[in-house]
Structure 1
Amino acid sequence: MCIMAMAFAAHPRWRLILIGNRDEYHARPAAPLARWDDRPGLIAGRDLQSGGTWLGVSQAGRAAIVTNLRGHGGPQPDRASRGALVTDLLAGDGAYDNAAQARLADFNPFNLILIEQDRAHFLTNRPQPLRTGLTPGLYGLSNGTLDAPWPKTLALKAALLNWLTDGAQEPARLFDALRRESLPEAGIAPATPSDAPDEAAASPIFIRNPVYGTRCSSIVAIDQEGRGTIMERRFDAEGRDGGETIMAFDWPQGSTSS
């Protein structure tokens, strides 16, 4: 997942609105959004190469999303899959199931946001492992630091804010923002190249590229009563629609324990 915007505890109706695009090589196999038989309660797409996921929710009251992180060298193939970290945190089991204790140095450079009902956390492992809580608000994340003012990150955050202040109805309308292929003039372009050589240094929100591009767009919407919807739209190597999945779920009421 290479870009996301999130409104966490920032609207009277919505506990969480999270939107994002997964940018990846089209040759890398993936399964569509679904409930996982081998990890009960987990709803996510699945990377069929490494077995993890880039974004998902758990009916135990968790949501998580990961992005690669530029500027710290290319990926090392002997490291653990970043998707495994997302999956374990969502499922609440496995070698990396505890955000406070997981060995973040095991992975290639990443940023990760984890929501546990009424708490949100930001995790990264470069330049050194960092775990920090997030206060209620609006956030944007791509392949740099949290809220780095890259043009596409600013544009996606602005689109989410506009939606929130314009009635905050029909979360599926946010797919339009995730499909934008032009860049605004505002913002500061990334200073470091992507670890994917086919990605431009300053790419739009939606990347149309036959080798490396936007594979899917996702929306997670959870209201104050814990009623949730996760939506995924998929795209082929030409940027054409390749299918859509919408699934409902419920989060438990009450806060999580520390």
Structure 2
Amino acid sequence: MCLIAFQWDPPGETPLVVAANRDEFYARPTAPMAWWEGGRILAGRDIQAGGTWLGVSAGGRFAALTNHRDPSRTRPDRATRGLLPVRFLEGGHTVGAFLDEVRTEADRYNPFNLLLYDGRDLLGFESRRDRVVSFTPGIHAFSNGDFDEPWPKVEQLKAGLVDAEGDDAALLALLQEAEPFPDERLPSTGVALEWEWALSPAFIRTPTYGTRASTILRLGREAVSVLQQRFSPEGPEGRSEVRFRLA
């Protein structure tokens, strides 16, 4: 998962609205969003490593993960980060208690960001800084840098969410914005300039790597709705829509 924007409204009828893109190599096998065995987690699944990048539980817990882009700190032998959202969704810890556990083991993983909601509190965690982040009500976003770090696509999506928050079609259109940004606006994350450029828009398209799924999630006090549009190198390839009442 490489781009997430969210509207946080703690006292509202829909405390959390999420618009997110997952970017990955096309060759990496993935299962579409569906209920996992036992009916406790609704999420997509990374078949290669067994985890997920975004999911919600039957009781209204939410978890999302992005990698932090820094090749100098990435090693292939570390544990898969995608199991962290699964642990949170399957468990009963508060966000704070869960992050206390994660902080003791974060160095087992390549750098990551976690966004977690337990039905009451929403917190973020930046592993490379060992930093827990709380959020003011309103719109926030992050990609493969820090929370609310002003990368061009992060700022573009935050601005668009102001007007499109209630419109799934408009949110999907924002997530499919594929125009790269000019070189002078690109972040410097340790990859070659041509990759910074290719990875700069909300929707990524390269011959081998790109946006695999766009997800709109509305987590209310009593019910949840999730829309996921999936993509192949040739274009849209499938859509899932799920609505359920909280258990």
What's the TM-score, normalizing by structure 1? 0.84
How far off its partner does 1:62 sit? 0.9
Once residues 214 and 192 of structure 1 are traced to their aligned partners in structure 2, the CA distance between those partners, rounded to angstroms, is 19
Deviation at 1:248, TM superposition (A): 1.1
2:41 matched to which residue of 1? 42
> 1:104 Cα shift?
1.8
For residue 22 of structure 2, give the secondary structure of its aligned residue in structure 1: strand
Match of 2:80 in 1: 81
> Residue 27 of structure 1: SS of its match in structure 2?
coil
Q: 1:25 matched to which residue of 2?
A: 25
- CA separation in 2, counterparts of 1:93 and 1:12? 23
Quote the Cα distance in structure 2 between the aligned partners of 1:218 and 1:144: 20
**Superposition TM-score, scaled by structure 2 size:** 0.88
* Number of residues of Structure 1 aligned to a counterpart in Structure 2: 242
In proportion to residue count, which structure has more helix? 2
Residue of structure 2 equivalent to 1:3: 3
Alpha-carbon distance in 1 for matches of 2:180, 2:11: 27
Is contact 2:180–2:197 with CA below 8 Å preserved after alignment?
Answer: no
- Decide whether the 8 Å contact of 2:186 with 2:196 is kept in 1: no
User: Over the residues paired in the alignment, what is the CA RMSD in angstroms?
Assistant: 2.7
Match of 2:237 in 1: 242
Between the aligned partners of 1:246 and 1:75, the Cα distance in structure 2 is 35
Q: Secondary structure at the match of 1:200?
A: helix
Q: Which amino acid aligns with 1:232?
A: Q
Native 8 Å contact 2:186 2:197 kept in 1: no
| Contact 1:21–1:214 (8 Å) recurs in 2 | yes
- Structure 1 stretches of 4+ moved >3 Å: 10-13, 197-202
2:120 matched to 1:118?
A: yes
CA distance in 2, matches of 1:143, 1:202: 10
1:192: which partner in 2? 189
Cα distance change, pair 184–13 in 1 and its aligned pair in 2 (3 A): farther
Alpha-carbon spacing, 1:184–1:119, altered in 2? closer, same or farther (3 Å): same
Q: Tell me the residue number matched to 1:91.
A: 90
**Structure 1 unpaired stretches of 5+:** 253-258
**2:72 partner SS:** coil
What is the correspondence of 1:53-72 to structure 2 with a 5 Å cutoff? 53-71=52-70
The amino acid across from 1:174 in the alignment is: L
Contact 1:151 1:183 (C-alpha < 8 Å) held by counterparts: no
Structure 1 pair 118–135 and aligned structure 2 pair: CA distance change class (3 A): farther
Deviation at 1:98, TM superposition (A): 2.2
Identical-residue share of aligned pairs (%): 37
Aligned to 2:225: 229
Deviation, structure 1 residue 2: 0.5
Unmatched segments (≥5 aa) in structure 2: none
1:256 match: none
